[in-house]
Amino acid sequence: MKIIRTENEYEAALKRVEAIMDLDSPSNDELDEMELLVLLIEKYEAEHYPISAPDPVEYLKFIMEKDGLTKKDLAKYIGNLSKVSEVLSYKVKLSLNMIQNLHEGLDIPLDVLSQAYGKKKESQGKYPAEYYGCFNELVKRDYFPGFNGTLNEAKRQKDELLETLINGYTIGEQCYCRKTKNAKIDHFALFAWQCRIKQLLSSEQLPDFKKDKLPKTFLRDVAKLSYYTDGCKLVKEHLNKFGIHFIILKHLPKTNLDGAVFMFHSHPVVALTLRHNREDNFWFTLLHELAHVILHLKDENTSFFDDTADEKKGSIEDIEKQANKEAQNALFPSQIWNQYRSGNDTVSDLSNKLQVAPSIIAGRIRFEAQDYQYYSNVTHKNDIREKLGV
């Protein structure tokens, strides 16, 4: 492994990191390789596509907006309400004690809080510093329709470009199922990804969504689409008929995102990333998000972002367990599944009984056994990205 010096080497490194992230069970050597590549990528980006370091006060304001915190909430970390006001207006700098309290209490990185700063300058941009963290990636992903310039040209127009993407939306409550412990989630990246989806769906016309009119067999009917060879291609049309948007958009770095659900103009949006290129993960994530639509989605201010990757049982919050249970019941009706456990049916037999894809059966067996080498020839047989043209 060597220092990245060219754009081609940079792109190759990004692809290699993605390839390792897509693995079900990467080895320790592969994880070490990914960690080193990320460091090399960050070094190359810092040299070739620099973004101003985050301003501690602007970052703190971003955290307040994202988490719905008030000045009173910050007082226990900074001292008192008067001191909070002075810090937020740049009249008083953060002390070492404040920095330590904010780091431990709100999980704000020490390197951000320790940045030298003064009165905010216009050149830093109109948005909080956190909004610029993934800007380079947004440019590369064509998040700004109509812009065809270089990355440096984009940076000179960063506020105008971000304004077209954000389009007046604000970061609402982000309910995130974080399965990867100690993972640092880029909440603005989640928001930017969500804004891009709204942009892409803005002209899509659907019938009214009425939750109380959904058939009782709604989730089970969606699950049965998996039984068909190209069932994944039927999902969008099927959901659209019920007033539900369906879209696939690749996840952004530092989001660990498999799927999400939120309201947009009175219609639920179910969005998947295909972060894991497996048919069983596609169907489970889809049913998990639809379960959120039925059980938890109430208004346009709340968004559910999910990491549904296989992990040990009991590691997630109750609201996610509820969505998981509904998804599992739709894919594996308990009476038939329990009979399978005590019988001699093959994966193929059970697939026919449940009318779901064999890969889904194999994925459930792997999860219950906590052995992800088991049945890998079945779970990896179909390339879901290729099927959906992603």
Angle between helices 71-78 and 96-106 in degrees, nearest 10: 120
The answer to whether 129 and 54 have CB atoms below 8 angstroms apart is yes
CB 275 within 8 A of CB 21: yes
**Calpha distance 314→323 (Å, rounded):** 13
- The C-alpha atoms of residue 206 and residue 220 are separated, in whole angstroms, by 22
The C-alpha atoms of residue 171 and residue 184 are separated, in whole angstroms, by: 18
**Range name among 28-32, 54-58, 273-277, 278-282 with the lowest pLDDT average:** 54-58
Residue 355 has pLDDT above 80, yes or no: yes
52 has a pLDDT exceeding 60: no
Give the residue from 16, 17, 15, 11 showing the smallest Cα distance to 44: 11
Provide the token pair at 169: 């939306």
Under the banding of pLDDT at 50, 70 and 90, the label for residue 182 is very low
Q: What length is written for the chain?
A: 390
Q: What is the pLDDT of residues 88-133, one digit of tens each?
A: 888 888 888 899 899 888 888 887 788 777 655 444 567 877 788 8
More confidently predicted of 64 and 145 = 145
Q: Terminal CA-to-CA distance of the chain, rounded, Å? A: 30
Global confidence as pTM: 0.71
Encoded tokens for 338: 């329990």
Between CA 76 and CA 375 the distance in angstroms is 52
Domain extents in the chain: 1-48, 56-124, 173-388
pLDDT by residue (tens digit) across 306-347? 988 754 444 457 888 899 999 999 998 877 777 766 666 788
CA distances from 113 to 11, 103, 127, 128, 259 (A): 31, 8, 18, 14, 31
* 382: pLDDT strictly greater than 80: no
Domain covering 56-124 in this structure, CATH number: 1.10.260.40
What is the overall mean pLDDT for the chain?
Answer: 85
